[in-house]
Amino acid sequence: MPDLSRYSFVSRDVLLGLILALILSSHAVLVLCYGLVGSAGYGAFTATILAAPTAALLLLCIRKGIEFHAPDFLFLGLLLAIAISFLLNPRAAPIKEIILLILTFSTYPACRFISSEQIGRLMPSFAVATGAFSVIGAVVTAVAMYEQWGSDRVKPVVLGFEAAPIYFLTALGLFMLAVVSRKMTARRAIVLALFLFPLIFIFSAAMVRFTFIAIFGALVVATLLSDSKQRWRIGIVSLGIVAGIVAGLATRSKAADFLITYTMEAAGGHPVRAAGLPGPDVNVRTDGAAPSCHTTVNLRNSLDIRKAVFRDALFYIPKAGAFGYGLDGFTKLSCVEGTQVHNSIMQAIVEFGWIGGACFVLLIFAAGIPLLPISRIDDDVRFIVCGLSFAVMLIIAYGRISQDAIIFAFIGCSAGALRRNSLFPTRGYGATGSHKPQIVS
């Protein structure tokens, strides 16, 4: 494969880091592109932003002599199950979702050719890019909150998109993992905590919730895989994050009270009409067999919506059969109209059947578990494992499988880092330098 980067003004590793950051932060990039020009979206441009970095990564990294591992066969099994599901079921998904599904799945082969050693070399530019996306995102989020201060909105609309703070915080989470998965001095940990505090403060004030849980979950994984000194330094970074969250919630205490009330509502199972709380939009469709068709769902409460669609998914999983109801079939079954499961694993089982769902779950485990022994002593592999953990937690809370490039990208990176005997490492590896494991992919 010719070295295409010699025709550019940046090194190949810098270019790869920027491309990987674009792929993993694609939602944040699209929000910035559309928001800054005042557009709600344009299909061809979206497809280009998603496809171009993936194609570039594949062209720059593709090589001969790939050794196939269990994740590769499980990925092919998942593709086959999806293809059969499409053949057996009437098309429920719009063509846009089908194209997004193809683009999302293409991130696996693109990232499959990246070895763990390449991950280490591209980390600096990757961290710079994801950090830049999150800083710009924090600034536009702060501006949006200032402009909407005093409104009855719990979450601000940023550049025309309510989910924008989630996407920007996801980019910040990737930046954090790129830094904490590598060796840090105490001074560097303190500087990172101070850098993160204002950004976390802004996103916390924007009432982002589940992404913070995913970040802390990934930091726990990083802590468990690190030595004792590194654990203390990750703890310093975590304290900065906690301080930012508390300060952000305190700044918008009224909005925080709304979310607490909504949480109590979801736990109690009935709409809450607290003083000052906007009246609930109640689900009214009752013409289906799903549990949501026979209960009240407050469409202003994301937790109540999630509880309803999770129940619907659990209702249809035993009925899904081998190949499910087809892509977006769940949206036709649930009475929470136009809403997906918000959990890609459940969605895969319902829409692609027991076989497709099993391939997806086994794919995640087959990609991550063999890397655990090496990740304790190799910084680059540790980033991959932490990133995979972060992605799994995100797709459990926000997932829509046709838009989950982050999980398939990290699964591809994990498969690229696997060795033939990765479950039973026999040589003494160092985290850096010439004693790193020999990667055969």
Question: How many of the other CB atoms lie within 10 Å of CB of 236?
Answer: 16
What is the predicted pLDDT for the residue at 421?
Answer: 40
The three-state secondary structure class of 298 is: strand
Give pLDDT, residue 268: 63
What pLDDT was estimated at residue 122? 92
What whole-number distance in Å separates Cα of residue 16 and Cα of residue 53?
9
Task: Tell me the pLDDT band of 437, cut-offs 50, 70 and 90.
Answer: very low
Residue 306 is predicted with a pLDDT of 86
Give the pLDDT confidence score for residue 423 in this predicted structure: 42
197/306: higher pLDDT: 197
**Tokens representing residue 55 in the block:** 């194609």
Is pLDDT of 74 > 70?
yes
pLDDT of residue 66: 75
Q: CA-CA distance, 418 to 439, in Å (whole number)?
A: 7
Position 436 pLDDT exceeds 60: no
| Cβ pair 231, 271 in contact under 8 A | no
State the pLDDT at residue 209. Answer: 87
pLDDT category at 289 given cuts 50, 70, 90 is confident
The answer for residues whose C-beta is within 8 angstroms of residue 275's C-beta and 6 or more apart is none
Tokens of 152: 């009855």
Tokens of 17: 């880091």
Q: Which residue in the block uniquely carries the two structure tokens 């989470």?
A: 173
Q: What is the overall mean pLDDT for the chain?
A: 85
The predicted-structure confidence for 124-180, as pLDDT tens digits, reads as follows 999 999 999 999 999 999 999 999 887 777 788 998 888 999 999 999 999 999 999
What residue ranges do the domains of the chain occupy?
70-93+121-256+342-392
Which pLDDT score is estimated for 350? 96
The SS3 assignment for 282 reads strand
DSSP code at position 306 = H
Q: What amino acid occupies position 211?
A: T
Position 255, amino acid: A
Q: What is the DSSP track for 149-172? A: TTSS-SS--BTTBTTHHHHHHHHH
* Residue 71 to residue 93: CA distance in whole angstroms: 27
pLDDT at 325 over 90: yes
In this predicted structure, the answer to whether residue 205 has a pLDDT above a threshold of 60 is: yes
In the structure encoding, which two tokens stand for residue 178, read together?
């790129």
Distance CA 275, CA 272 (A): 10
As a whole number of angstroms, the distance between CA 165 and CA 218 comes to 19
